[in-house]
Amino acid sequence: MIGVVKRNNVSLKIGIIGGGNVATHFFKSLGEIVVKQIFVRKKEENLHLPLSLLSESKDLRILDLAIIIIAVSDDQIINVMAKYHFDPDQTILHTSGSVEMDVIHQKHLKCGVLYPLMTLSKEDIIDYQQMPLLIEGSEESDLLLINQLAESISHHVTYFDSQDRKIIHLTAVIANNFTTSLLLDVEEILKKNQLDKFLLVPLMKETIRKVFDLGGIKSITGPAIRKDQKIIDVHLDLLSNYPEILDLYQFFTHRIQKI
C-alpha cells in the first residue's frame, strides 16, 4: 500500500452520484477541489449541496473524472449501473456495506468499493480522519487509486473483500441499530418519569470503553449475571405498564444467564 496522501496533494478529480447522507459526507470530506460534479435526479431536491456542482446528466463519458463514487441506497446501485454512461477508464465505486463489488464489475471492469463504517446523517459533524474506510478494488491499479483517495480522507483505511465487508456491516447493524433501539426504550421510561436521560451519558461511554478494552465477558455486570432475582422482580414490576420492554427485559435476562 502507498503512504498517506495529504488532501492538497490529491490531483484526482471525482464525481459523486447521489445527494443523500453518504454522498453529502463524501462531498464534505473531499471538498470542492476534488469533487468536480455531483449527479442527482433533481437539482431542486439537493440544495444542501452547492448548486454549481449539481448535474442531472446521466452521461459521464465526456467529463475528466478519474473516479465516480456511487453513493445511493443499496438497491439503487444496479439501476445506476443500468442508466448512467461511464468511460471505460473511469474507476467506479459504491459505498455499501452489504452489496458485492460484482454488481458493478458485471457492467464495468475498473471498479471498487469505499465503505465508511459509520452512521451518517446529513447534519452530523464527523471526524473523518477517525472514520474507518473499508476498500476493495477489481485490479491492483484500481485498489491503489482507491487507497490514495481513501487515505486523503481517513487515517483508518483497510482492505476488506465483499464477504468480510458483509460480516462487519452485519455487526455494525447489531451494535448501532439494536443499541439505539434499546436506548429508545430507556428514553421512553425516563421521559414518562420526568427523569434526565443525560445522567446516563458517563455510564454509556464507560460501557463502550469497557467492552472494547476488557471484552464483553469481563464487562457484563448487573442483576441478570448475578442471578439477583429480587432486583429482577423489582424491574419486572416497574415494567408492568410497558409490555414490550418487559418482553425485551426477560429476553435479555435469559440470554445473559446462559453465558
Closest to 69 in 3D by CA, of 111, 103, 97, 131? 111
Distance of alpha carbon 155 from alpha carbon 147, whole angstroms:
11
Among 5, 105, 122, 158, binds a second copy (CB under 8 A): 158
CB of 139 to a second copy, least distance (A): 24
Q: Is residue 246 involved in binding a second copy (CB under 8 A)?
A: no
32, 53 Cβ separation under 8 angstroms: yes
Pick between residue 141 and residue 177 the one whose CB is nearest to a second copy: 177
Q: Tell me which of 164, 241, 243, 250 binds a second copy, using CB under 8 A.
A: 164
Q: Does 119 bind a second copy (CB under 8 A)?
A: yes
Residue whose C-alpha cell is 473523518: 128
118 is an interface residue for a second copy by CB under 8 A:
yes
Distance between CA 152 and CA 133 in Å, rounded? 11
Contacts (CB under 8 A) with a second copy, residues 212-241: 212, 214-226, 228, 230-231, 234-235, 238-239
Return d(Cα 164, Cα 60) in angstroms, integer: 31
Residue 149 CB neighbours (<10 A): 26
Q: Contact, 49 vs 38, CB < 8 A? A: yes
DSSP 176: I
Q: Binding-site residue total for a second copy (CB under 8 A)?
A: 88
Q: Does 106 bind a second copy (CB under 8 A)?
A: no
Least Å distance between CB 67 and a second copy? Answer: 23
Residue 63 or 211: the one with the smaller Cβ distance to a second copy is 211
Does the protein bind a second copy through residue 76 (CB under 8 A)? Answer: no
